[in-house]
Structure 1
Amino acid sequence: MAEALDEGSLDERDSHPMAAGAAPLSDEQRRKRILRGVVCTLVGGTFWGINGTASKLLMDAYAVDPLWLACVRELSACWLFLAAARVTNKGQVTRALCDPRSLVGIFGVSLGAILFSQVAYLEAISWTNSATATVMQSLGMLAVLAYVCARMRRGPKRREVLGIAFALVGTYLLATGGNPGQLSLPVGGLVWGLLCAAASACLSILPARQLAKWGNFVVNGLAFLFSGAILLVAYRPWEHMPQLDVAAVALLAFMVVVGTFGAYALYLQGVKDAGSMRASLLGTIEPLTATVTSVLWLGTSFSVADLVGFALVLAMVYLTA
């Protein structure tokens, strides 16, 4: 998922059946907890996939600029994150704002993770489609793998090498359609797709320290706020206002409340209950949902090479998770 920070992406500790100081769970309780996590992850991933297709619909049907959409979504969703932070951990936002060192760190997250990932993801969707963008985003797992190998001072394992090979072949098929003499993706779509993958890796790596200290809702809320404020000043969205009817406004509200905040909250609960490894694997429902909704809603067509490329990239996720 490219649009929210996940503190469990590199760590399996969140799947432990015992919270600090809590009584151990029975086998039945643990099974129910994992089942709840699986359901939350699948629903959250489905919402993310729908969110990508809804973004494409707004950009194509209403000529909405990706930067305008990123700015509006960030400045709208940030208040939902901050409200959730206040409800779940009252006073934590104020303490974070009074900690200059943490503020610098969260501002770095807003630039290197939130702003980068939001813009790259929406630009990739604009140039291609939501299915291709979400699959290209999954290539960020390779950068995370490289980071983990460097930190642990080890080489990739055999299954990880196989995952890298699958990812390279899958990307080749997506880029060329199986014909080495041409690009089936526009150059801009390929570039933004690869940048989207890099942004996804940054989203998994950069926020770890701040998330451990302040929690997900606080960091996401402030990072979304800072990133949206940067776009507000640099892009000036009021100068690029699209013509939106009631249906478009309703779709935009759905994207903010359900597709961004709701999807994030459910996925976060899934990581907590089912563990980050299960969540990362179940999260592959996002590109699958984006593919299905692109076909059904937008009439997008995919070649056999595209579908094989999708399958290979998703297989890479399973092999490297």
Structure 2
Amino acid sequence: MSKTTRGVVLALIGGTCWGFSGTCAKFLMDSYAVDPVWLVCVRQLAASVLFLAYAAAVPGERVHLHDLARTRMGGVAGVVTMVLTALCMMANSCGYVVTINITNSATATVLQALGLVVLMVYACVVARRRPRRRELAGLVLALGGTFLLATGGDPTKLSMPAAGLAWGIFTGVTYALYTAVPAKALERWGSPVVNGVAMLISGLILAAAIRPWEAVPALDTVGLAWLAIIIVVGTFLAFALYLQGVRDLGPLRASMLGTSEPISATVFSVLWLGTAFAPTDIVGFAMIVVMVYLTA
């Protein structure tokens, strides 16, 4: 298998795993009354262990882990960046799962993709330039797709709960922040280390706030299995596969293939959970997926 072919396959599988993870979360919340914030807290703590173990086991990443420990996260500036990254990650993760709980995994995943519009605007402001034609087209598609999802084409009413729309937009904004804030840290220490540490910090903050051990949901063997799948497949494995795709293809092509996430979330929601989507929803999804291609 060539490097390019491997990158395409792994990026597609990584995005699909992310979409599948959202559907698993919806299943747990609906079937076992799992609290969204509890789910995020447990996932962050467990996944942080996997990421840091991976970083410690891989020679190239181990160097970054040692450097982070030796320099104490790069001093005050590094600590601030890492804490801000953790807070952005925590806000994004909680917003995403809450949106799933109110709506469904497909809608939440698509609304999160609106963060690319925020990043586009930010890039234009920083570079002091006007948006390019394809970026403007992406903005129009994003606004149009969100309008269809929110109203079903009828501007006089909402076709989804207002709270779901608000949390979905919040998720998109925090996704943009989570992408932009750790840029220098990622360049210095790499994604496994930065994500592992940020997840650990965010998980500990949530644990201190909600005391997850005091409100453990009644999960049977099936429920525990799906929780493990969310942590291992939907978080750690999805990241690892997508990261390898980025290394093989570059960030631009990999991010385009990452649009398999909203597509897979939609397919899994329909086939597994029986979620029904109106034609306007499908058109809205398609418009936002095209927006991702134009703004990537």
TM-score interval (norm. to shorter): over 0.9
1:105 and 2:77 correspond: no
Whole-angstrom CA distance in 2 between matches of 1:255 and 1:246: 14
Q: Which amino acid aligns with 2:44?
A: E
1:206 matched residue in structure 2: 181
Relative to the length of structure 1, the TM-score reads 0.88
Q: 2:65 aligns with which of 68, 89, 93?
A: 93
Q: List aligned pairs for 1:65-76, cutoff 5 A.
A: 65-76=35-46
* CA displacement at 1:222 relative to structure 2: 0.6
Q: 2:272 aligns to what SS in structure 1?
A: helix
Superposed CA deviations along residues 101-138 of structure 1, whole A, max 9, x for unmatched, are 323321111012x1111101101101100000000011
Moved over 4 A (4+): none
Q: Which amino acid aligns with 2:244?
A: Q
Q: 2:47 aligns with which of 60, 68, 77?
A: 77
Whole-angstrom CA distance in 2 between matches of 1:67 and 1:126: 11
Relative to the length of structure 2, the TM-score reads 0.95
1:45 and 2:45 correspond: no
Q: 2:234 aligns with which of 259, 270, 275?
A: 259
Q: Which amino acid aligns with 1:214?
A: W
Whole-angstrom CA distance in 2 between matches of 1:128 and 1:176: 14
Listed as ranges, the gaps of 5+ residues in structure 2 are none
Whole-angstrom CA distance in 1 between matches of 2:167 and 2:62: 39
Q: Which amino acid aligns with 1:107?
A: V
Verify the 8 A CA contact 1:86 1:92 in the aligned structure 2.
Answer: no
Verify the 8 A CA contact 2:81 2:181 in the aligned structure 1.
Answer: no
Q: 1:155 aligns with which of 130, 143, 148?
A: 130
Indicate the larger mover: 100-109 or 259-268: 100-109
> Number of matched residues?
290
Q: 2:215 aligns with which of 235, 240, 243?
A: 240
1:21 matched residue in structure 2: none
Identity of aligned residues (%): 51
2:193 matched residue in structure 1: 218
Whole-angstrom CA distance in 2 between matches of 1:171 and 1:122: 19
1:54 and 2:29 correspond: no
* CA displacement at 1:238 relative to structure 2: 2.0
Q: Which amino acid aligns with 1:186?
A: P
